[in-house]
Structure 1
Amino acid sequence: MNTLITAAAPLWRERLRTLAPGFLIAAMVAAAASFLSEHYGAPVMLFALLLGIALNFLAAEGQCKPGIEFTARTVLRAGVALLGLRITLAQIAALGWKPVALVVVVVCVTILLSVLAARLLGFNKLFGLLTGGATAICGASAALALAASLPAHPQKEKATLFTVIGVSALSTLAMILYPMICRLFELTPLQAGVFLGGTIHDVAQVVGAGYSMSRETGDAATVVKLMRVAMLVPVILCAALVARAQGAGAGAGGVRPPLLPGFAVAFFVLACVNSTGWIPPAVQQLGNDLSRWSLVIAISALGMKTQLKELASVGLKPVLLMVGETAFLAALVMVLLRWGM
């Protein structure tokens, strides 16, 4: 045992040395965003995003890149998981059955429409499934998970890369614009949370948009968003059935991502434990503070990773497809909110 620990120590030191520059830059941006937010009254997530975008060149290459990638992925997921300490099963039950029904309807309808639109634009229907799944479920994570389940294709890697870039850029834009839409339509905090959680693609931007409005909105948006994440399981199973029906494999390497992301599982576990009342208030507060800082730091790193200019190299029709899917999703959720909630 001692031999294994001794052998692993240099590897951990090297890993820490590799990740530290990017993480520290993101943490400095988060600290600057917090300072600006306190002095000018604007949302800290928005400041973190804009400052991160201004430092975009750091994520392209160099010593900071590994740490920025780690922060935007792992630190983000840790922050979202810790949000479970702010949520109880009573809050989830208080939302009622309507948000659950809304999530199922919007995910299914958006994906089906995306497949049809892709065919009308001359693309393979699986490209529509890929972009529609990413739009309807959980952004880049869904795109990567679905890509691993779809049949091999010469354009598969390029389609996956475009989808990841496109959904990330649109989600960043939605994080800024959708809270304005909520205020324009005078949505209640609960309605705003359902709208944000039901429309924005990536978890980080949902959290950023929701908590920039209010705690109640942020809590509702997070719960609704994780309902969408849970829809990844049946959608991937359907994608796997499509691949089997076409007699194709599930992608190179033979390694699939987990059907349900670990951070979503951790969120629900912490929410269940938090619902028992066993967690002391001091521990809850510590978890909330760690979650807040993790998310602000992760948003800073996501801003650094945003590559809007790369969208120009893929042509107009794929961009129109993803923009149309995003606009349709927002309109559908707004209509269902007006009719059903």
Structure 2
Amino acid sequence: MIALLNDRLGVSRSLFPGLLISGLIAIAAQFISDHYGAPAMLMALLFGIALNFLSEEGPCSAGIAFSARTVLRFGVALLGMRISFEMAASLGWSIVAIVIGGVIATIIFGMSIARLLGHGPRFAFLSAGSVAICGASAAMAIAAILPRDERSEERLVFTIVGVTLLSTIAMIVYPIFAQLIGFDSQFSGIFIGATIHDVAQVVGAGFSISQETGDIATVVKLIRVAMLAPVILVAVIIIRRIGGGDSKAGQPAIMPGFVVAFAILVALNSFGLFPPGITEISAVVSRWALLTAISAVGLKTSLREVIKVGGAAIALLVIETLFLGAWTLVLLQWISGS
């Protein structure tokens, strides 16, 4: 018992420095937002990027990684206490069809265009799946089920660095673009949730516009995240049929735990099981968790790493990203005009 307690204290000590710096950046970002009107999420991201060296090997690295992953997922899960089936249903089946169609179309497009850029089907599926679904998380899940070779790690690193960079750029550019073309809060949330790769950047971009936009963007994004399960299942079936699977390799989790928690909280909230006071507290905790997480995402973003990413690999990721954005934009414009 004492040994277990000591182990847990040791883990807490290793996480504390990184959690502390992420939290301090979140507080600074909120201070700037309160006093000067700048978006807190954007400030947290920029402050984090400026202090990227802290995420390198050292006392802060473990806590920063914990903040960027676990604290983020905790914050997103808590958002479920503010969202109900009514909000999801208000999006309409046409919006759900656009989101799911965008995932499928982007994967098919990426698999098709990759050959012209000199890439094989493995990198094509890895890059397209990460762009279409949920960025780095999808890349790691897809990489776990792909047949391995001497370039597996290289392809994975390319993809993670590329989608993280593109997602960070999109977090800054897409909210401005959505407002320039005249999208309201709802359509801005749909556009952001359907196009930006990583959950953290979707949350940051959505809430930088408004509370409503952030909520809608999160719901739309989680529809994309849920697509990881069927995409992985189909991929596993195809790989096994062509005899390329690795029977010794472990399979990725079919449904991320934070998505399950989010769905449960949404269901409970839809039945009115949470008192208003609890909902308000969860909203505050969720916001601070997300602000801390986006600070950590900034801390983990190294612009120097971009230099190591191959030009053709980045080109493919950019083309896939633009395709997904164009798909969503055209169909949303069509819906708004009809």
TM-score range, shorter chain: over 0.9
Among 23, 26, 30, the residue aligned to 1:30: 26
Q: Which residue number corresponds to residue 217 of structure 1?
A: 213
Q: Secondary structure at the match of 1:76?
A: helix
Letter in 1 for 2:252: P
Q: Distance in 2 between matches of 1:83 and 1:250?
A: 37
Using the aligned pairs only, state the percent identity: 51
- Residue 236 of structure 2 contacts residue 245 of structure 2 at CA under 8 Å; is this kept in 1? no
1:268 is matched with 263
Alignment partner of 1:85 is 2:118? no
Equivalent of 1:328 in 318, 323, 326? 323
Find 1:189's aligned residue among 175, 185, 188.
185
The Cα offsets for residues 248-296 of structure 1, whole Å up to 9 and x where unpaired, read as 3348x63332111111111111011011112111111111111000000
Q: Distance in 1 between matches of 2:54 and 2:238?
A: 40
Shift of the 224–250 alpha-carbon distance from structure 1 to 2, 3 Å rule, reads: farther
The runs of 5 or more residues in structure 2 that have no matched partner are: none
Q: Select the residue among 60, 64, 70 that pairs with 1:68.
A: 64
Q: How many residues align?
A: 336
Find the residue that maps to 2:237 and give its secondary structure.
helix
Structure 1 alignment gaps of length 5 or more: none
- Offset at residue 6 of structure 1 (A): 3.0
User: Is the contact made by 1:152 and 1:248 (CA closer than 8 Å) also made in structure 2?
Assistant: no
Moved more, 307-316 or 170-179: 307-316
Instruction: Tell me what 1:111 maps to.
Output: 107
Q: What is the DSSP-based 3-state SS (H/G/I as helix, E as strand, rest coil) of the residue aligned with 1:247?
A: coil
Q: Which residue type is aligned with residue 28 of structure 2? A: A
One-letter amino acid of the counterpart of residue 169, structure 1? L
Deviation at 1:242, TM superposition (A): 2.8
Give the whole-Å Cα distance in 1 for the aligned partners of 2:122 and 2:233.
14
1:171 aligns with 2:178: no
Stretches (4+) displaced over 3 A: none
Residue 92 of structure 2 corresponds to residue 96 of structure 1: yes
Please give the per-residue CA displacement for 1:121-158, whole angstroms capped at 9, x wherever unaligned: 11111211110000010001100001111111211111
Aligned to 2:332: 337
Cα distance in 2, alignment partners of residues 202 and 41 from structure 1: 25
Which amino acid in structure 2 is aligned with residue 286 of structure 1?
A: I
- Cα offset, 1:315, TM superposition: 2.3
User: Per the alignment, do residues 285 and 304 of structure 1 end up closer, same or farther by CA in structure 2, a change over 3 Å counting?
Assistant: same
- Alignment partners' CA distance in 1, 2:246 and 2:293: 31
Q: CA deviation at 1:234?
A: 1.1
Q: CA RMSD in A?
A: 1.2
Distance 1:277 1:315 in 2: 51
* 1:163-202 C-alpha deviation (Å, 9 max, x unpaired): 1111111101100000011011000111111100000000
| 1: CA distance, partners of 2:32 / 2:16 | 24
For residues 116 and 238 of structure 2, what CA distance do their matches in structure 1 show? Answer: 20
Q: Are positions 1:136 and 2:166 aligned together?
A: no
Q: Name the residue aligned to 1:237.
A: 233
Give me the whole-angstrom Cα distance separating, in 1, the residues matched to 2:276 and 2:245: 50
- Counterpart residue number, 2:308: 313
| Structure 2 partner of 1:157 | 153
Q: Find the counterpart in structure 1 of residue 251 from structure 2.
A: 256
Counterpart CA distance in 1 for 2:289 and 2:218 is 15
What is the Cα deviation at residue 9 of structure 1? 0.6
